[in-house]
Structure 1
Amino acid sequence: MAAFSETGPVAPLALRDLLVELGDLKRVRSAGCDGSIAERLFAQGWSALVGGTRPETVALDITAKALAAARLCDLDAAFLAAVGLGEAQASAILVAGLDAVAGEVDPALRERLREALRHPPELQAGPVPGFVGALAQQPRAGVTCPGKPRILLEPPENHAEHCLVVAVYGVLLSPFYRADPTTVFLAGLAHHFHNAAMPDAGFTGEMLLGDHLWPIVARCSEWALEELDQPLRETVRSARAVLPDDATAEGRAFHAADSIDRVLQIAQHLRAASLTMDTVLGEMELVHAGPVKAFQDRVLTDMRIP
């Protein structure tokens, strides 16, 4: 994957399809599990960080799990162990899931992510901070513009899901920008701290707050930061220093990840709305090959479906 330069492309087109697919982790749920995969990975990441696991380890572990889940969904390490697979068998399946989607990921980073699945690190679980649950309960604003009514797209994503996906995107984009992936990951996880307390009224609401906006954002962000003990609090605060601009490699990687996720979230709704039966039955083989396919095809024809 070509690296960022001041005169060339400012984003890696080769990663587009992977980023689209990873965004769907906001929408994948399973019986017995609270929230989407993205929401749960967000909580796992913060639990590990609070428990004292090195941020670099957490960034690689959560990103690797997200890549494997893109195709395997909740067929994760815990499930595979529960149904009797050994550690080597389970890790081979998870690596295969990662490999199915990671062909365009920077080779060195891809190997580090594969290693995180081959030999899972010992994550030290700590208490999940209160802001994690608050962000999971806080819906995103939808499409807003000052002077115009908002466009709501249901179901809305929540802020935990958005932050997790931005953090994972940031890790994958970091080699292109020559950025430190751990810093970008932490910045992504923490960039909406203020919305743990502050309802999201979008761009419209922010403009109506006027000069009060940034003091309110700072105050609400500090409430979340105060839930973290040192030295993690200072580590996260330092990572958040890249948020205001694109003057650093880490700032560019973060803002690329953030803008990509915001727009792909809307594109997902439009993609679903424009889905056709030709795609579902033809390209995606909803009625797929098997011993009864011929019979099923005749049933659909006789029922005039679609």
Structure 2
Amino acid sequence: MSDGVPVNGASGPAAPAELRDLFVEMNDLKRVRSAGRVGSIAERLFAQGWSALTGGASAEDVALDITATALAATRLCDLDAAFLASAGLSEEAVSGVLVDGFDSVTSNLDPGLRETLRGRLSRRVAHRPGPVPGFVTALARQPRAGVTCPGRARILLEPPENHAEHCLLVAVYGVVLSPFYRADPATVFLAAMAHHFHNAAMPDAGFTGEMLLGDHLGPIMARTTQWALDEFDGPLRETVERARAVLPDDATAEGRAFHAADCVDRVLQIAQHLQAASLTMQTVLGDMELVHAGPVKGFHDRVLVDMRIP
């Protein structure tokens, strides 16, 4: 672990503004689903990451591979390596499509990290899958609390994200942010993937519920976290525990990268609900060209005018 500061110095920006639009777009990995696949892309990548780790892959390899895959999926969604290969594309063609998807969203990444992640897609290595720990399924079934504040009624926005989705997005955001904080990406990734272990067993009542537990909160969180850690064998358990040591504060570069990623994901989750509520037809029909150019575009336009839609 390092104790570096952002490259702009202690008095500079606390986070890189140029990554904002990418993070907004990536957040939808928690909401993209496809026929024949259980759960969102984020939920599935969370399980895939833990399976690779229990199968013996290093935290660094898993962090880079999962992050590269998530970045490619930001535009390609579930047009992933498995689907493309099943549709008859060669290994070279599959890699080409994935790299094109990656390139379409990563122009603002740190150049060194971008090249490393891009290489993971152009020279893909399959990890031996290990058993998926029980906490993975539990976190995928555990909804997050929504917006809570002690003394106030909860604001619940449907559908809620689950804890597996949140942990995955925080992990990949953390890897992308790591160069800015001079942090070790593998440590940040693993800490983020493991930061809600307690919620595998502990229902999420948010900040309000935690405050109402008072002195009971610490022991309950320690006990339920231990239940998750007990699913690992010795070496992986020790690696996860070392990574989790950065979680309590922002005293290390890894702690800063994690807490920046965690904060961004929590707020963007709510922002997407507000964006949907304020969406206009000008955006849909004008900016996004829902009725897009093609041989029947003129006919479509006349149909909408004559039917007074919208």
1:103 aligned to 107, 111, 114, which one? 107
In structure 1, what is the equivalent of residue 80 of structure 2?
76
2: distance between equivalents of 1:168 and 1:4? Answer: 22
1: distance between equivalents of 2:214 and 2:243? Answer: 26
TM-score by length of 1: 0.99
Q: Does 1:208 align with 2:208?
A: no
1:142 aligned to 139, 146, 151, which one? 146
CA drift at 1:3:
2.5
Maintained 8 Å contact 1:4/1:11: no
1:246 aligned to 223, 240, 250, which one? 250
2: distance between equivalents of 1:230 and 1:291? Answer: 63
Maintained 8 Å contact 1:142/1:152: yes
CA drift at 1:234:
0.4
1:290-305 alignment runs, 5 A limit: 290-305=294-309
1: distance between equivalents of 2:186 and 2:59? Answer: 6
1:21 aligned to 9, 18, 25, which one? 25
In structure 2, what is the equivalent of residue 160 of structure 1?
164
2: distance between equivalents of 1:12 and 1:4? Answer: 10
2:98 aligned to 94, 102, 108, which one? 94
User: What is the identity, as a one-letter code, of the residue corresponding to 2:275?
Assistant: R
1:160-199 alignment runs, 5 A limit: 160-199=164-203
For the residue of structure 2 that corresponds to 1:231, the secondary structure is helix
Q: Does 1:276 align with 2:286?
A: no
2: distance between equivalents of 1:133 and 1:105? Answer: 32
CA drift at 1:122:
2.4
Q: Does 1:257 align with 2:233?
A: no
In structure 1, what is the equivalent of residue 3 of structure 2?
none
In structure 2, what is the equivalent of residue 151 of structure 1?
155
CA drift at 1:54:
1.0
1: distance between equivalents of 2:197 and 2:9? Answer: 31
Stretches of 4+ aligned residues off by more than 3 angstroms: none
CA drift at 1:5:
1.7
Percent identity between the two aligned chains: 75
CA drift at 1:4:
4.4
CA drift at 1:293:
0.4
2: distance between equivalents of 1:3 and 1:165? Answer: 23
CA drift at 1:100:
0.3
For the residue of structure 2 that corresponds to 1:66, the secondary structure is helix
2: distance between equivalents of 1:278 and 1:88? Answer: 41
1:64 aligned to 55, 62, 68, which one? 68
Deviates more, 1:121-130 or 1:141-150: 121-130
2: distance between equivalents of 1:79 and 1:262? Answer: 31
In structure 2, what is the equivalent of residue 53 of structure 1?
57
Q: Which has the higher contact order (CA 8 A, sep 6+)?
A: 2
In structure 1, what is the equivalent of residue 121 of structure 2?
117
CA drift at 1:171:
0.1
In structure 2, what is the equivalent of residue 223 of structure 1?
227
1: distance between equivalents of 2:234 and 2:189? Answer: 19
Maintained 8 Å contact 1:4/1:178: no
CA drift at 1:257:
0.2
In structure 1, what is the equivalent of residue 236 of structure 2?
232
For the residue of structure 2 that corresponds to 1:145, the secondary structure is coil
CA drift at 1:268:
0.4
Aligned residues: 305
RMSD over equivalenced CA pairs, Å: 0.7
Task: Tell me the alpha carbon deviations over residues 106-150 of structure 1, each in whole angstroms, 9 at most, x when there is no partner.
Answer: 011011111110111221100100000000000000000000010
For the residue of structure 1 that corresponds to 2:154, the secondary structure is strand
Runs of 5+ unmatched residues, structure 2: 1-5
